[in-house]
């Protein structure tokens, strides 16, 4: 059973052209770390005294996108371990869209993941008063994208092989094999990365990095927009530095008090809700591969994807679509209605014996670039999750989660459930978890804003309600079925968020946006 483990602001249809091939990638970013004879910060005060030297963004993009030519890029140094600021350090990549009018400060943006590059998000508010009054700054968090060092666990060949392995066997032998593979992956991560980096990939470390960035930008207080997992970075910052927050919008929230197992099942239910919405939309079209009524869409969908187990379909350029990739591609498309058309096309193509479009969607999710290399988003996601979250090391719990997952998302149930499931890679992770689950307790925080979508596939609406309650934040409800809503063309949401970020005008209580 495959669950979508990462969640980030979707990048849009432009990454899946009509021929199903991903767009070209940019050159990996430059590695900029001080040499042994170069001066470097050795105290937290020295890190905070840095100022960003902005220049060209050539060579900074690592995720297959072309950074907007109007952006500036630069770097900030941070300690890998804040308890040892004179020890190993990291160089974080930043991008900036300079304010087009009288500037009142900077706004830091994170798109989610964890593991997603944030450099392209500097253009998120273009054409709004936010972009007029605030320098909008994106960043690649520690270990991710063009930041150095970057977490790398698998070679491209190893990741390709993993994607081709369906891992659907839940017999004792199948579970043992999958667990062995998960343990081997954790060992590769241990062997191929600095243990200090792996031990300090947590959201708390990134939140401390955000405070160094804030100081390096010359801002007295942080203005922040976080999407999806980026909401965790935001509420962690708020817990650590409540008196250094100017304004904070958290869209597509995670609930700090959520149980990890319950969160997984809730996400499955969210994807089922959006799959049902997609099926209804599809059924109204003459060429729908799921039929003319949405009532039997799940059965028709399973009839299309189940034959892929052990029998991948050709997908062009010598590649094949595996069962695992088909499911991943479908889930990627459910993040946003912009990808429903290629999803219909991909399922239609699947019925005719080809998997080109669904493979392109899976490549988009997995960060596979046209030359066959990968971004490090998948490895970084795992590295963050394994230090952020409590680890499930009880097979009875993994079996229970698998049963509940299948019940919550029938379209993802391959019918092979046995009530047992393997431990994942985090159970074997080489460094301890730093998880501290529980509801937030924050004092001294100025008014903040949470945006939550009623049928968000990846981050349930209820999580946003819970986070707003814990922060004492204003809640903006968007009635829709997409992942995140701010600056995505919904005037009601955009106006409320803009007035708050620029003028600190808090949205009215109970605001609902159709």
Strands 474-478 and 222-227: unpaired
Angle between helices 260-283 and 461-471 (to 10 degrees): 130
Four-residue CA torsion sign, 27, 28, 29, 35: negative
Q: Is 277 helix (H, G, I), strand (E, B) or coil?
A: helix
Rounded distance between C-alpha atoms, residue 341 and residue 199, angstroms: 41
Burial of 250 (0-12, 13-18, 19+ CB in 10 A): buried
Rounded distance between C-alpha atoms, residue 224 and residue 249, angstroms: 6
Rounded distance between C-alpha atoms, residue 169 and residue 161, angstroms: 17
User: Are 476 and 449 spatial neighbours (Cβ–Cβ below 8 Å)?
Assistant: yes
In degrees, rounded to 5, the angle at the alpha carbon of residue 156 between the alpha carbons of residues 150 and 157 is: 145
Nearest to 248 by CA among 445, 76, 104: 445
Q: Is 226 helix (H, G, I), strand (E, B) or coil?
A: strand
User: Are 278 and 334 spatial neighbours (Cβ–Cβ below 8 Å)?
Assistant: yes
Tokens 């968020």 -> residue: 497
User: Are 324 and 166 spatial neighbours (Cβ–Cβ below 8 Å)?
Assistant: yes
Phi, psi of 259 (to 5 degrees): -75, 135
Q: Is 392 helix (H, G, I), strand (E, B) or coil?
A: coil
Phi, psi of 451 (to 5 degrees): -110, 125
Burial of 28 (0-12, 13-18, 19+ CB in 10 A): middle
Rounded distance between C-alpha atoms, residue 177 and residue 167, angstroms: 9
- Catalytic center residues: 228, 456, 483
In degrees, rounded to 5, the angle at the alpha carbon of residue 339 between the alpha carbons of residues 311 and 255 is: 95
Nearest to 251 by CA among 235, 239, 262, 274: 235
Four-residue CA torsion sign, 350, 353, 354, 359: positive
User: Are 471 and 465 spatial neighbours (Cβ–Cβ below 8 Å)?
Assistant: no
CA 144 to centroid of chain Cα atoms: 12
Rounded distance between C-alpha atoms, residue 291 and residue 301, angstroms: 10
345 contact partners, CB below 8 Å, separation of at least 6: 357
Rounded distance between C-alpha atoms, residue 330 and residue 362, angstroms: 8
- Both structure tokens of 190: 């241990």
């Amino acid at each position: 059973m495959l669950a979508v483990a990462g969640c980030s602001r979707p990048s849009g249809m432009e990454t899946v052209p009509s021929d199903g091939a991903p767009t070209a990638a940019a050159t990996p970013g430059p590695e900029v770390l001080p040499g042994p004879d170069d001066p470097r910060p050795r105290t937290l005060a020295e890190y905070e005294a840095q100022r960003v030297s902005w220049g060209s963004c050539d060579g900074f993009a690592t995720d297959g996108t072309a950074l907007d030519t109007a952006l500036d890029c630069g770097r900030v140094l941070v300690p890998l371990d804040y308890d040892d600021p004179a020890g190993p350090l990291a160089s974080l990549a930043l991008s900036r869209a300079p304010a087009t009018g009288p500037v009142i400060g900077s706004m830091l943006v994170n798109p989610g993941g964890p593991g997603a590059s944030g450099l392209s998000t500097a253009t998120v508010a273009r054409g709004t008063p936010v972009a007029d009054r605030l320098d909008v700054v994106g960043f690649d968090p520690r270990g991710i994208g063009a930041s150095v060092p970057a977490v790398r666990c698998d070679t491209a060949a190893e990741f390709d092989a993993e994607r081709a392995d369906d891992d659907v066997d839940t017999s004792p032998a199948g579970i043992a094999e999958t667990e062995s593979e998960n343990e081997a992956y954790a060992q590769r991560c241990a062997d191929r990365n600095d243990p200090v980096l792996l031990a300090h990939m947590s959201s708390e470390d990134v939140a401390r990095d955000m405070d160094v960035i804030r100081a390096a930008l010359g801002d007295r207080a942080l203005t922040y927009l976080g999407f999806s997992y980026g909401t965790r970075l935001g509420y962690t910052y708020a817990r650590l530095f409540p008196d250094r927050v100017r304004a904070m919008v958290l869209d597509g929230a995670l609930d700090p008090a959520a149980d990890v197992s319950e969160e997984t099942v809730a996400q499955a239910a969210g994807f089922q809700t959006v799959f049902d919405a997609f099926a209804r939309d599809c059924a109204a079209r003459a060429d729908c591969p799921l039929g003319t009524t949405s009532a039997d869409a799940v059965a028709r969908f399973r009839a299309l994807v189940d034959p892929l187990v052990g029998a991948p379909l050709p997908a062009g350029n010598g590649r094949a679509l595996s069962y695992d990739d088909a499911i991943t591609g479908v889930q990627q498309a459910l993040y946003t209605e912009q990808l429903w058309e290629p999803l219909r096309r991909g399922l239609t193509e699947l019925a005719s014996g080809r998997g080109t479009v669904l493979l392109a969607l899976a490549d988009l999710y997995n960060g596979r670039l046209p030359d066959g290399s990968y971004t490090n988003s998948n490895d970084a996601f795992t590295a963050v999750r394994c230090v952020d979250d409590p680890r499930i090391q009880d097979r009875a719990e993994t079996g229970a989660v698998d049963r509940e997952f299948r019940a919550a998302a029938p379209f993802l149930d391959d019918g092979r459930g046995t009530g047992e499931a393997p431990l994942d890679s985090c159970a074997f992770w080489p460094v301890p978890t730093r998880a501290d689950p529980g509801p937030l307790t924050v004092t001294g925080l100025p008014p903040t804003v949470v945006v939550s979508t009623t049928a968000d596939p990846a981050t349930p609406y209820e999580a946003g309600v819970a986070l707003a309650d814990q922060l004492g934040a204003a809640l903006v409800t968007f009635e829709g079925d997409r992942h995140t809503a701010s600056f995505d063309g919904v005037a009601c949401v955009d106006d409320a968020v803009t007035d708050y970020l620029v003028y600190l005008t808090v949205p009215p209580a109970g605001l609902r946006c159709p």
